[in-house]
Amino acid sequence: MAEDLAPKEVTAPEATTVAPVVVTVCTTCRRDGGDPEAKRPGRVLAEALNTADLPEGVTVRGVECLSACSRSCSILIEGGKSRWSYIYGNLDPDTHLDDITAGITAYATTTDGLVPWRERPVIFRKQSVARIPPLEFPSVDLTKDDCA
Ligand code: FES
C-alpha cells in the first residue's frame, strides 16, 4: 500500500504547438464567360472544402472578396502567427479540389507554413498570388545597400 502513496513521476501532456489553419475562400468572384445566374465558383469551392476530408484543426470560411478579383477563384491559407500565409488564384472548384485539399493538408503539417516545393501541388506552385510572412518574421537589413 505504501508504494501507492509514493510520488509518481508526472509528465506534462505534449504541448500543442501547431496553430489551427484557416482557409478563407472568396465566394463572390465571377468566372469570365460563366452563367451570371449560376452559383459563384468560389461559393462552390468553399462548400466543397467545407465538407472535404481536411485534417483536424482546419476550418473553412467564405468571405466576400479577397481583393484578388482578376484571379478567381481565390483562397487564403493561414495558420497562426508563426506560419507564412498564402493566397492562391485561378482555382477551379471542378478540377482542383483534390489538389487544393492535398495542399491544405501539407500546409497543416508544418509549423512555419513552408511546404517543400516538390511536395506542393502544381497549382500551388504555379498559381500563387502572394505569400505573406508571419508577423514576427524579421526584416531584411534595411540599412545595407546591397540591392538584394
Ligand atoms: S470578388 Fe473574389 S477576390 Fe474580389
Q: List pLDDT tens digits, range 100-114.
A: 999 999 999 999 999
Closest ligand 1 atom to 42 CA: 2
- CA–CA distance, 47 with 75 (Å, rounded to integer): 13
Cα of 28 vs centre of ligand 1, distance in Å, is 6
**What pLDDT sits at residue 147?**
67
**Per-residue b/e over 33-67, b at no fewer than 16 CB within 10 Å?**
eeeeeeebbbbbbbbbbeebebeeebebebeeebe
pTM for this one?
Answer: 0.85
Pick the CATH number of 21-132 from 3.40.50.300, 3.40.50.720, 3.30.1300.10, 3.40.30.10: 3.40.30.10
Closest ligand 1 atom to 72 CA: 2
**What pLDDT sits at residue 53?**
95
**What pLDDT sits at residue 79?**
97
**What pLDDT sits at residue 13?**
43
Q: What SS3 state is found at 27?
A: coil
Closest ligand 1 atom to 73 CA: 2
16-31 pLDDT, tens digit per residue, is: 557 899 999 999 988 8
Q: Is 87 in the pocket of ligand 1 (CB under 6 A)?
A: no
Q: Is 122 in the pocket of ligand 1 (CB under 6 A)?
A: no
Q: Which residues pair with 131 in a beta bridge?
A: 86
Q: Which residues pair with 58 in a beta bridge?
A: 21
Cα of 102 vs centre of ligand 1, distance in Å, is 23
44-93 pLDDT, tens digit per residue, is: 999 999 999 999 999 999 999 999 999 999 999 999 999 999 999 999 99
Q: Is 90 in the pocket of ligand 1 (CB under 6 A)?
A: no
